[in-house]
Structure 1
């Protein structure tokens, strides 16, 4: 027997060490999942609600988001489920699982399409309400075939997004998420500087602290702002992929709370400074205000920095939402197949199909505001509040306290009532404008 063979055990003395994700990586991934496209729509909610109600609503929804995540994590670790759909299956059977998967698919695919529309608007321009806004590429290089929306988005999808969506662990996205958060801070920082300079020059608009109610319809219009903020705080589809790569459930709760505080602060800052800059002329997509015709005192360079930093931000958010979308579609279509990450053909094919659908839809659909109103009133509010509240009320593991049941009931009732009013008001306004 050789000396080398003497030291080789028949069985390993220790089990392979599991490589857990870091809390800091989880904070970046959760924060990036939250910020997404919501940051650009927050200033418009201040125009609708007024500063004080908007700030209170942002704080309230952030608090309810923390409660709903705590429900999800507690019921996950009390049962055998490892996914959001799995928790709903334990509580409500196959119907609950399918409802969750459908909501994740609708929400995430809608958001991916929104992100590509935003990137296309920034790079190649847009025409909201018949007014032409040039993109950065047209402003810098003139109008050419290679900076058209179709070609620019095709290059973005093929050379930037495809390598990112092919990463198989969500922890691998922590560096792109960190860059994304840095770009979001740059977006807010530059906007803040512009607002402060405009304030010193006496060029800021006077924000309304409270909503201006002049008739019955305008009161119900206030409810249309709620889905926008709900969508801005909907990240629950990534709670399980991120949480199960951490060592302890308490680590995920801590990461979520840090992220919620950070993101609420970013939302409050961009809401206030954006409203100060543009006042009642603020658009549903604040990026439209940041073009050369915006009349800013700083000039086109800072305007371009704001728009470009935000476009790059959502570019790096894209793979995070694609991760949970891909997992839910695979679980829905191929429940008996082995893990998606172990099947190269299925993994690559699904990613290519999702990128193709997102690209084609972003070319065909010109306006992202439709997505915000629809998602925030339906699938997003279900994932963020209705489903977690329903799980706590159902309480199949017998772990809900009296306080849990009260919070869950409040969460579900508020979500259902505000979403119903928002949907009804949007339908009324839509047909009212047509007539």
Structure 2
């Protein structure tokens, strides 16, 4: 939802280029991770880290996944809050669906609605034990995302033909060091959108032919890149410099097309449904890694129902409190993507390659790995510095 805002910050051309480049770099990091996992007979990201760095490597990875996925759940919950109960940005309030339908009441407030959604929807979803258990709702989730994208494309195309779309900003306006540093905050947001490393081994293990995983990864990343580029372009074209960090906040007023209110509701409801149904694919690896971190020698989590329930409920409640406390998704995207995201996507796979425990790394692998680490560290440091500077000021 922040990709159109990313293009607003960077300009149309650099924004699109960034989305495509990150897709290629992510594909390269996953390819290296899978290749070194195969050499070490590792069946998970954690096993690959343990093979290269011992127990400390696996523990460090588990900590990062727990923090990153908790941040992801918080982001998704904030989106649901924005859609259903509205949001306030720069002292401007954007009405949510429930506010638009029923007006402002205590039961349409952000906190109450999110608690209700958590109890009614998230609690049942958290009891899924395997990622393949969520395959059907994942298909529905993808369908809802496609509905969202098609409506945005359709509305934007109508306004382009109508001549009511303003000329977009092609490149960023850099006037001083502060505005330059602010550009770096877009990188973690794009990285956040692609990270899937902790699920790749699980999917590979569940494939009838594990050798197909590279094709699955490339196809998935290509589809994601296409969707992200389309979302960014058409979302930014539709609202221009008025684009908010959460695009859904723009769909609370007349968007200048016939049946505007209907399209607004379709866009917000479809994407909220998509976010809700994505929950298990984020929550399952979060719970699994937290359990491995806290109880490394205990019997499998699926066999201990008490531990399973306590960990599940605890994680959902922590995410709930975080979503109620954090003001908007841009803050959550930036800090989560700039810290744990960079480690999971770039630094850890590159470090495994440089460690090269099975002596299979080529000179090209090592050059690429060093470049990935340098780029991740520099861009993320700049993003974190810019974020902290903005918050403190």
Q: Do Structure 1 and Structure 2 share a fold, with TM-score over 0.5?
A: yes
Residue equivalent to 1:412: 373
5+ residue gaps, structure 2: none
Larger Rg: 1
The runs of at least 4 aligned residues of structure 1 exceeding 6 Å deviation read none
Residue equivalent to 1:235: 196
How far is 1:339 from its partner? 1.2
Aligned: 1:309 with 2:264: no
Q: Assess if the C-alpha contact under 8 Å between 2:152 and 2:235 holds in 1.
A: yes
Tell me the C-alpha RMSD between the 2 structures: 1.6
Residue equivalent to 1:201: 162
Residue equivalent to 1:185: 146
Aligned: 1:331 with 2:278: no
Aligned: 1:98 with 2:98: no
Q: Assess if the C-alpha contact under 8 Å between 1:194 and 1:298 holds in 2.
A: no
How far is 1:294 from its partner? 5.2
Q: Which moved more, 1:233-242 or 1:115-124?
A: 233-242
SS at match of 1:396: coil
Distance 1:138 1:158 in 2: 20
Q: Which moved more, 1:172-181 or 1:156-165?
A: 156-165
Residue equivalent to 1:52: 13
Matches within 5 A, 1:232-381: 232-292=193-253, 298-381=259-342
How far is 1:410 from its partner? 1.7
Distance 2:371 2:348 in 1: 13
Q: Assess if the C-alpha contact under 8 Å between 2:254 and 2:260 holds in 1.
A: no
What do the CA deviations read for 1:390-409 (whole angstroms, capped 9, x no partner)? Answer: 11111101111222222212
Aligned: 1:115 with 2:86: no
Distance 1:97 1:243 in 2: 19
Q: Assess if the C-alpha contact under 8 Å between 1:46 and 1:275 holds in 2.
A: yes
What do the CA deviations read for 1:244-268 (whole angstroms, capped 9, x no partner)? Answer: 2123332221111111111110111
What do the CA deviations read for 1:193-240 (whole angstroms, capped 9, x no partner)? Answer: 110111111111211222222223322222111111011111112122
Q: Assess if the C-alpha contact under 8 Å between 1:205 and 1:275 holds in 2.
A: no
Distance 2:193 2:166 in 1: 25
Residue equivalent to 1:29: none
Distance 1:231 1:395 in 2: 27
Distance 1:85 1:212 in 2: 42
Aligned: 1:133 with 2:88: no
Q: Assess if the C-alpha contact under 8 Å between 1:241 and 1:324 holds in 2.
A: no
Residue equivalent to 1:15: none
Give the aligned length: 393
Q: Assess if the C-alpha contact under 8 Å between 2:83 and 2:268 holds in 1.
A: yes
TM-score (norm 2): 0.95
Distance 2:109 2:178 in 1: 40
SS at match of 1:81: coil
Q: Assess if the C-alpha contact under 8 Å between 2:204 and 2:213 holds in 1.
A: yes
How far is 1:86 from its partner? 2.1
What do the CA deviations read for 1:352-382 (whole angstroms, capped 9, x no partner)? Answer: 1111222222223232221111011110111
TM-score (norm 1): 0.87
5+ residue gaps, structure 1: 1-39
Residue equivalent to 2:104: 143
